[in-house]
Amino acid sequence: MPKYLYTALDLQNKKQSGELDARDDDDLRRLLRAQSLIPTKYSVIEDKQARYRMKSVEVGEFCRQLSSMLSSGITIVRTMEILKERDFAPRLKKVYDKMHRDVLMGYTLSEAMRLQNKTFPELLMNMIASGEASGQLERVADKMAFHYEKEHRLNARAKSAMTYPLILLIVTFGAVMLLFLFVLPNLFDMFEGMDLPGLTQFMINMSEFMQGYWYLVIIAVLVIIFAFQLLLANGKVRYQFDRLKLKLPIIGKLLKIIYTARFSRTLSSLYSSGIPMLRALEITATIVNNMYIAEQFVDVIMNVRNGESLAGSIGSVDGFDRKLTTTIMIGEETGRLDAMLESTAEAFDYEAEIALDKLVQLIQPVMIVVMAGIIGTVMISVFMPMMDLYNNVSA
What letter represents residue 283's amino acid?
I
In a domain, 341, yes or no: yes
Q: What is the pLDDT of residue 48?
A: 46
Give the Cα separation of 298 and 301 in Å (integer): 5
* 124 touches 113 (CB < 8 A): yes
- Is the sign of the CA dihedral 237, 54, 166, 184 positive or negative? positive
Based on the domain organization, do 324 and 241 belong to the same domain? yes
Question: Which stretch of DSSP H or E encloses residue 355?
Answer: helix 337-394
Residue 134 lies in a domain: no
| 97 and 168 housed in the same domain | no
How many domains does the chain contain in total?
Answer: 3
Contact 191, 200 (CB under 8 A): yes
- State the DSSP code for 182: I
What is the full DSSP assignment across 66-91? HHHHHHTT--HHHHHHHHHTS---HH
pLDDT value of position 45? 63
Residue 132 placed within a domain: no
Judge whether 296 and 360 are in contact, CB under 8 Å.
Answer: no
Residue 11 contacts residue 36 (beta carbons within 8 Å): yes
The low-confidence residues of the chain, meaning pLDDT below 70, are 1-2, 44-51, 191-193, 388-389, 392-395
- Specify the pLDDT at position 37: 86
Could you say which of 120, 139, 167 is where a domain stops? 120
Residue 100 shares a structural domain with residue 157: no
Contact 356, 261 (CB under 8 A): no
Bridge partners of residue 21, in order along the sequence: 3
Res 19: pLDDT? 80
Same domain for 18 and 96, yes or no, is: no
C-alpha separations of 302 from 226, 263, 281 in Å = 38, 18, 11
**This prediction's pTM:** 0.68
Residue 50 is predicted with a pLDDT of: 46
Which of 173-206 are b and which e, b meaning 16 or more Cβ less than 10 Å from the residue's Cβ? eeebeebbeeebeebbeebeeeebeeebeebbeb
Pairing of the two strands 38-45 and 15-21: unpaired
Q: In what order do the strands lie in the sheet with 3-9?
A: 15-21, 3-9, 38-45
Tell me, yes or no, whether 129 lies in a domain: no
Q: Please answer whether residues 131 and 273 qualify as being in contact, where contact means their C-beta atoms are separated by less than 8 angstroms.
A: yes
In a domain, 136, yes or no: no
* 291 Cβ contact partners less than 8 Å away, ≥ 6 residues apart: 235, 238, 239, 242
- Sign of the dihedral defined by the CA atoms of residues 168, 172, 178, 179, in that order: positive
Same domain flag for 112 and 238: no
- Examine the domain organization and report whether 36 and 73 are in the same domain: no
Do 360 and 235 share a structural domain? yes
Residue 133 placed within a domain:
no
**Residues 28 and 80 placed together within one structural domain of the fold:** no
Which residue range forms the structural domain that includes residue 29? 3-45
Nearest to 287 by CA among 262, 253, 254: 262
Which amino acid, residue 375?
I
Same domain, 281 and 394: yes
Q: What pLDDT sits at residue 395? A: 56
Question: Residues 353, 168: contact at Cβ < 8 Å?
Answer: no
Instruction: Indicate if 162 and 241 belong to the same structural domain.
Output: yes
Q: Tell me, what CATH number does 222's domain have?
A: 1.20.81.30
Residue whose C-alpha is closest to residue 264's, from 207, 321, 182, 302: 321
Asked whether residue 216 falls in the same domain as residue 262, the answer is: yes
Q: Is 200 domain-assigned?
A: yes
Same domain membership, residue 295 and residue 220: yes
Whether 41 is in a domain gets the answer yes
